[in-house]
Structure 1
Amino acid sequence: MPHLLSRARAGLRRLALCSLLLATPAFAGPGGPDHQHGPEPTATALPQSPRLVAVSEAWQLVGILKGGALTLYLDRQEDNAPAAGVTLDLDIAGRTVRAEAQPDGSFRIPAEALGTGEIEVLATIGGAAPDLLVGTIRVPGAAAAPAAAHGHSHALSDFLHRRISVETVLIALAATGAGALAIGFLFGRRRAGIAVLALTLLAVSPSTAGPGGPDHSHGPETATAEDGDAPRRRADGMVFVPKPTQRLLELRTRRVVPEETARRVTLAGRVLPSPDAQAVVQPATAGRIVAIDGALPRRGQAVRAGDALALVVPFAAATGEIAGAETLRAPADGVIATVALAQGQTVSPGQTLVEILDPARVRIEAEAFAPLALAPTAAASIEARGMAPVPAALLGRAPALRGQTALLDFAPRAADHGLEIGRRVQVVVELPERRTAIILPRDAVVQAPNGLPVVFRHAEPELFEPRIVRFEPLDATRVAILAGIEPGEQILVQGALLVNQIR
C-alpha cells in the first residue's frame, strides 16, 4: 500500500508540472493570424506618391510620380486655372526632357528619366508667359530585400524592449501564486523553492506576452504620417486637395485687393399689389347669384374693365326670371385673384365676391428695425432665391412705426420683374456712407463644421486653409469681407462649397 501511494503521488507531480508548462504560454495566447494582440487595423495607410512642387509669381507646378510616369500639372498662379498654349521642358541632371502634353491639360514624362534619390528639376515654361521654376523630388530606389524569416524564438533583448500590459503582469503573478501553493502541496517543502523559482521564470518569460508579429509587435501600429493621395482634412484644419481633384472640381482662386464700396443694409420685405392696380367686385343689392351663360368667373382669368362676371337676382324675382337683376362687372383690367361665388348663393350689399389684381404692377413693403437716412434716389435691389436681383426705387416711408419697425415702400424699375404677389423677398438698400472692403462672390463664404463663416486661402499648390471671416452682403451675388483675410492673399472663389465638404 505505501508503494502504491508513492507511485500515485509521483504521477500527480508529473501531471501538475506538465499542466503548468502547457499553461504558461496561454497567458497571452498566439494573438491574431499575424500574432498581433489587439484589434485588427481597420484601414491600411497608403504612402503618398512622390511629388515635385515648384512655384513662381506666375505659375505653380506639381508633379506626381505614379504608375511609372511623372504627371505634371501646370496652373496659373493668379486664378489656379490650367495653363494653355505653353510648352514644358525639364532639366534633370544636365539632360533636357520635353514633357508631353496630355488631352486633359497635364504633362507627362516617363519615370525612367528621373533616376533615383533626391533629384533637382529645372522646369522651363515656354509660350506667352515664359518662366523658370526650380523644385526637387525624392525618387525611391529599389525595394528593400525582404527581411529574413524568423521563428517564434524570443531573446532576452526582445523581452526587455517589449511593452507588457499591466493586466498580463497581474495574471502572471496570480498564476504564479496559485502554482506555488499547488507545488508546495504536491512536491513537499524540500523541492518547493526550486519549483516556485522555475514556475516564476516560466510565468514572466517572453512567451507571456505571446509571440507577437514578425517584428514582435503587439497590436496595430498607430499611423502618424498623413499618407495617401486622396483629398482629406488634416488635423491642423488644412484641407489637402491633390491637383487632379482640383482640375476635376474646377477650383478657381483670386488675389484679393480692397475696393471702395457703399455700405448696404438688407431689409425683409413682401411683395404686395400696387394700390392703383387692385380692384374688388361687390354687389349693391341683396339677392341670389346667377351665372351668365352658365359660367362663373374663375381664379386666374384675365378680364378687362366692364366685363360682365355674374348676375345678382333680387329675392322677390320668380325662379328663372332675371328682370331687375344687377350685373356684376370688372372695375379694372387685370387677373382674377380670388373668387367667392357659387350658383344660387345669397349675397348682401358690400360683400366682396371677386378680387382683381394686375401682376405687373406691384410694390414691396420692407421693414426697417433701425433708423435709416435714405435719399429719395437711393439705389436698391430686390432679391429672392432662384432669381436675379431686380433694381428698385424708393417710393416712400410711413411716418409712424408699426410694431417698432418703420415701413418703406419700393417699386421694381423693370416691368418684367417676375415678382409674385405675396412672395417674401429681401431689399438691399445702398446707404450714403462709403467704406473700403474686400469684395468676394457670395459662394466663396461657406459654413464651417463649427457653424462659423469661412473662406479658403490657397496656402500651397495642394493645400487650402480655412479662414473665419466677418462679412456683410452687398447684393445677391457679392459680399464685403470686413475682417479675417488680408489684401494680397489668394482666396478660393469657385468651388468653396465642395472643398468644405472634404473630411
Structure 2
Amino acid sequence: MILPPFAFAHGGEDHGDEAKAPVSLPASGPRLELKSPDVELSGVLQDGKLTVYADRYASNEPVLNAKIEIESNGRKLQLLALKDGSYTAAADWLKQPGRYALEVSIQADDLADLLVGALEIPALQAEAHGRTWLDYAKWAAGGGAAAILLAVLFKFLRRRKGVAASALLPLFAAFLLGGHSNPGFAHGDEDHGDKPKAAPAAAAASNVPVAAQASPVRLPDGSIFAPKPVQRLLGIRTVLGESRDIALTVELNGQISADPNFSGRVQSSQSGRIAAPGGGFPAIGMKVSKGQILAYIEPAASSIEKGNQQAQLAELASNLGLAEQRAERLEQLVGSLPQKEIDAARAEAASLKARKAAVAGSLFQREALRTPVSGVISKAGVVAGQVVEAREVLFEIVDPARLWVEAVAYDTALSGQVAGASAMTAGNQPLALAFIGLSHQLREQALPMQFAVKPPSPPLSVGQPVKVFVQNRQTTRGIPVPQGSVMKNSGGETIVWLHASAERFVPHRVKAQRVDGQTFAILEGLHDGDRVVTQGAALLSQIR
C-alpha cells in the first residue's frame, strides 16, 4: 500500500501565520414581515422569543396597546404589550427549522385587521470540509500497514547482508513514510494561523447583512436598513403619495410692513423743546393706548418774538381792565341807557379776556404729543431737552397682530392670476397670507404686491425679509410632500426617502417644485402609493 500524498485546495483563504482580527457581529434570528393596507408588522425571533412591532402602514406611527394573537398549525400565541411599544411572547416551538404559516390578528381602539404570511426557520449548517473520525481511521490503518511492511522488508534485507540492499532500505522507508503523510485541506474563509479565532455569529434568515440587524447601516446599493427600535427613536414618519392638480407657484422677494390702518406716527407740529410726561418717555416695545400722552413740546421762540407777545399781552391786559370798568358803570345805569349799549360793553370785555388767555397760552403752554392708535412702540428717539423741528417723526406705533407683506413681481402676466399666497421667513417659519392687491403702475420695473399676514403668526419685525410664494390659476400634476421630505444628496441631486419595506429605506431621485412655504410638489420620480418619509429624512441621510 504505497499511497501518494493528497492535497485539496480552493480559493478565499489565508494560510499565513498572521491571524486576522475577528469581526464582531451581533447575533440575530429570523425576521418576520407582514403588511396590509392598514398595518405593517415586523418581528424577530431570537432564543425562542418572538418580538413584534406594529405600525400604521401609511404613516409609520406605532400601534400601541393593541391585542395581537398569532396562530400557526393549531398553536396560538398571545403577545404581551411592553412599555416601549413592542409586543413579545415565548415561542419555543418556533426553534425547529421549517416553514411556519402564520395568521396574525390585531385589534386596537380604531383598528381591526388580519394578516397572513409565513416565517422561515433555517436549518443549522454543519462546518464544510471538516475532518471526521473515518478520515483519521483510514490514515491510521494505512500507517500501520506501512510499518508492518517496512519491518518485514528490513528482516528480509538483513538476511541478504548485501551492501546494495542495506543502501536501499533507508530510501524505501522514506518513500513509505512520505506516501502516508496526512493530506492537506485548504478551504475558504478560514485562517490556519496559530491564534484562535472567534466563533461566528448566527446568520439571519434574510438578505440583510448580519451586522445591519442590530443597528442602522447603509447597504451597498445605497439604501438604509433601520430596525424598528431605531425608527421609533428617530421618529420616522411617512405619507402615501397621491397625485393631484397643484397650482403653479412663483417665488418673489418681499418684506414685512406695517398695516396702515393699525399703525401710526407721532410728529411735532412745530419747533420746540421736548419735555417728558409724568410717567417718563415710553420705551421701545411698550404697549400704548390710543390718546396716551408720550411727550410734550415746549414751543421755541426768539427773544424778539417773546417780547412782542409780552407787549401784546400787556396791551390786552390794559384794555381788558378798561372794558370791565366801563361795563360795570353801564350796568349801574340800567333803565337810563339802552340795553344794547350795556350788552356791547359786556361783550367787549369778554372778547379781550379771551384774547389775553390765548396770547398767554402761546407763551407758556406746552403741546401734548398723543398716540393716534393703540399698539406697541416700534421707534422712540427722544430725550428730555431735545430740540426738534416741525414734522419730525418722534415715535412710531405698530400692531404686531396686524402686519402686511409687500413683494415685487417682475412678471406683468401675474396680474389677475393670483389664486393664493404664502411666505417663509429666513428661519423657515411659514406664514399664511391673504392677497390684498397688486399695483398697475411699475415701480423700478416691478409690480408692487401687498398681502396681509393671517393669524396666528410667529414674531415678526417691520422690514424683515421673507420669501413669498404666489400661486397662480394655472395647475400641474404632481404629488405634494412636506418640505422636510425633500433633501439633497452628496451629488447635489434632489431626493426623497421611500419606505420600501418594514426596515428598509431607499433614496429616490425626483424633480421637485416648491408650492408654498411648507410644501413641495414632486413632478417626476414618484408614483401613487409610494411611502415618502416626511419626518426624520435628514437623520436617515446621516447614516453610514
Q: TM-score range by the shorter chain?
A: 0.5 to 0.7
Query: 1:216 corresponds to which residue?
Result: 193
Is the counterpart of residue 271 in structure 1 residue 249 in structure 2? Answer: no
Query: 1:461 corresponds to which residue?
Result: 502
Q: How far is 1:482 from its partner?
A: 1.1
Q: Cα deviations across residues 88-112 of structure 1 (Å, max 9, x unaligned)?
A: 2231xx4523242322444434352
Q: Root-mean-square deviation (CA), in Å?
A: 4.0
Higher RCO, Cα 8 Å, sep 6+: 2
1:378 aligned counterpart, secondary structure: strand
2:231 aligned counterpart, secondary structure: helix
1:114 aligned counterpart, secondary structure: helix
Query: 1:89 corresponds to which residue?
Result: 70
Contact residue 19 and residue 193 of structure 2 kept, 8 A: no
Query: 1:164 corresponds to which residue?
Result: none
Which of 293, 296, 315 does residue 307 from structure 1 map onto?
Answer: 293
Pairing 1:361-372 to 2, within 5 Å after superposition: 361-372=402-413
Q: What is the percentage of aligned positions where both structures have the same residue?
A: 27
Is the counterpart of residue 102 in structure 1 residue 143 in structure 2? Answer: no
- Rg larger in structure: 2
> How many angstroms apart in 2 are the aligned matches of 1:430 and 1:81?
32
Q: Cα deviations across residues 104-126 of structure 1 (Å, max 9, x unaligned)?
A: 44443435211333433323436
Relative to the length of structure 2, the TM-score reads 0.62
Which of 131, 134, 140 does residue 117 from structure 2 map onto?
Answer: 134
Q: Which amino acid letter does the alignment assign opposite residue 442 of structure 1?
A: Q
Is the counterpart of residue 244 in structure 1 residue 223 in structure 2? Answer: no
Which of 17, 42, 60 does residue 62 from structure 1 map onto?
Answer: 42
> How many angstroms apart in 1 are the aligned matches of 2:281 and 2:231?
62
Is the counterpart of residue 427 in structure 1 residue 468 in structure 2? Answer: yes
> How many angstroms apart in 1 are the aligned matches of 2:102 and 2:279?
89
Relative to the length of structure 1, the TM-score reads 0.66
1:278/1:395 Cα in 2 relative to 1: closer, same or farther (>3 Å)?
farther
Pairing 1:102-121 to 2, within 5 Å after superposition: 102-103=81-82, 104-121=84-101
> How many angstroms apart in 1 are the aligned matches of 2:396 and 2:258?
11
Query: 1:485 corresponds to which residue?
Result: 526
Q: Which amino acid letter does the alignment assign opposite residue 481 of structure 1?
A: I
Of 117-126 and 257-266, more deviation after overlay is shown by: 117-126
Q: Which has the higher helix share?
A: 2
Q: How far is 1:299 from its partner?
A: 3.0
Which of 70, 73, 79 does residue 53 from structure 2 map onto?
Answer: 73
Is the counterpart of residue 436 in structure 1 residue 413 in structure 2? Answer: no
Pairing 1:486-501 to 2, within 5 Å after superposition: 486-501=527-542
Q: How far is 1:240 from its partner?
A: 0.3
Contact residue 314 and residue 325 of structure 1 kept, 8 A: no
> How many angstroms apart in 2 are the aligned matches of 1:331 and 1:83?
57
Query: 1:412 corresponds to which residue?
Result: 453
Q: How far is 1:279 from its partner?
A: 1.9
Contact residue 377 and residue 394 of structure 1 kept, 8 A: no
Contact residue 456 and residue 491 of structure 1 kept, 8 A: yes
Q: How far is 1:412 from its partner?
A: 3.4
Query: 2:274 corresponds to which residue?
Result: 289
Query: 2:161 corresponds to which residue?
Result: none
Is the counterpart of residue 254 in structure 1 residue 239 in structure 2? Answer: yes
1:245 aligned counterpart, secondary structure: helix
Contact residue 217 and residue 224 of structure 2 kept, 8 A: yes
Q: How many residues align?
A: 396
1:498 aligned counterpart, secondary structure: helix
2:540 aligned counterpart, secondary structure: helix
Is the counterpart of residue 400 in structure 1 residue 439 in structure 2? Answer: no
1:90 aligned counterpart, secondary structure: strand
Contact residue 239 and residue 463 of structure 1 kept, 8 A: yes
Query: 2:329 corresponds to which residue?
Result: none
Query: 1:333 corresponds to which residue?
Result: 373
Q: Cα deviations across residues 189-248 of structure 1 (Å, max 9, x unaligned)?
A: xxxxxxxxxxxxxxxxxxxxxxxx962399999x99552421111121100011232344
> How many angstroms apart in 2 are the aligned matches of 1:240 and 1:368?
46
1:315/1:416 Cα in 2 relative to 1: closer, same or farther (>3 Å)?
same
> How many angstroms apart in 2 are the aligned matches of 1:78 and 1:310?
66
1:89/1:371 Cα in 2 relative to 1: closer, same or farther (>3 Å)?
same
Of 469-478 and 458-467, more deviation after overlay is shown by: 469-478
Of 232-241 and 254-263, more deviation after overlay is shown by: 254-263
Which of 102, 109, 113 does residue 122 from structure 1 map onto?
Answer: 102
Q: Which amino acid letter does the alignment assign opposite residue 408 of structure 2?
A: E
Contact residue 440 and residue 478 of structure 1 kept, 8 A: yes
1:391/1:461 Cα in 2 relative to 1: closer, same or farther (>3 Å)?
same
